[in-house]
Amino acid sequence: MERRIDRNTWNRDAHDRLFARLEVPFYSISWRLDVTEAASFAKRRGVSFYAVMIWATMQAVNGVEAFRYELRGDEVWLLDHRDPSYTYPWDGELFGICGIPWIDGEDPVAFAARMKAAEEANPSPVPTAEADEAGHNVYISSLPWIDYTHIAQEFPLDSTDSTPRILWGRFDTNETGRKTLSYTVQVNHRLIDGIHLKRLYDALNGAIHALEAL
């Protein structure tokens, strides 16, 4: 169950209040991510590479406590988990936005099947503002056409925005046969520091490498 954090004992209360003075306390990082095992798993099991990557991303996000902090006014809450809200192709050049609840322990094949079912049942490409704000989401997207080197993502000028934004580009195969892509994470510095990004980095690599045994 989610719980409210006691600011009197929270070890980063001073850091939160420091970055709360800024109109834009957000920052992002991109790195080359080895997705060889994710691509191999998707091909071997006949599922979408995109779905496998979302599954691995959510495994990592929900495994790092700092990524589950949420600001509600002056209060800080710790969520028991976050859910993915992601883009997908819709009617030619447009994209849709779909969200599904995260289920701890679910394997990537079952997760991919739930994604597909949710997309097929989605009545509108873009959710209402109310629906978009109802869940405790991670916003996920990809640029499967471009192996980019830099990207800036959109965000509201609201220093309490606690939603991590994650995006990746097209994977390419290097001279050793490994598949890598640019992977970008945007977060609120009020809640997440560099050490937490390192934990996400390690958790994501672990989730992807574990696919080799599935």
pLDDT tier at 6 (50, 70, 90 boundaries)?
Answer: very high
Band the pLDDT of 194: cuts 50, 70, 90: very high
Band of residue 136 on the pLDDT scale cut at 50, 70, 90: confident
- Hey, is 6 helix, strand or coil? coil
Q: What percent of the chain has pLDDT over 70?
A: 96
Instruction: Give the Å distances, CA to CA, from 104 to 77, 133, 162.
Output: 20, 22, 21
CATH class of the domain whose range is 35-213: alpha beta
- Look at residue 159 in the predicted model and tell me its pLDDT: 95
What is the pLDDT at residue 147? 96
pLDDT at 106: 98
How sure is the predictor about 2, in pLDDT bands with cuts at 50, 70 and 90?
Answer: very high
Where in the chain are the domains? 35-213
pLDDT of residue 123: 85
pTM: 0.96
Q: Is the pLDDT of residue 146 over 70?
A: yes
Strands 83-90 and 137-143: parallel
What pLDDT band is residue 130 in, cutting at 50, 70 and 90?
low
For 84, the enclosing helix (H) or strand (E) is strand 83-90
Q: For strand 26-34 and strand 69-72, is the pairing parallel, antiparallel, or unpaired?
A: unpaired
Residue 127: the pLDDT is 77
4, 23, 77, 78, 100 from 1: Cα distances, Å? 10, 31, 11, 9, 18
pLDDT over 90 at 105, yes or no: yes
Residues near 89 by beta carbon (within 8 Å), at least 6 away in sequence: 95, 96
| Predicted confidence (pLDDT) per residue in 52-84, tens digit | 999 999 999 999 999 999 999 999 999 999 999
Average pLDDT, integer, range 14-36: 97
For 128, the token pair is 């209402």
Average pLDDT, the chain: 94
Average confidence (pLDDT) over 84-95: 92
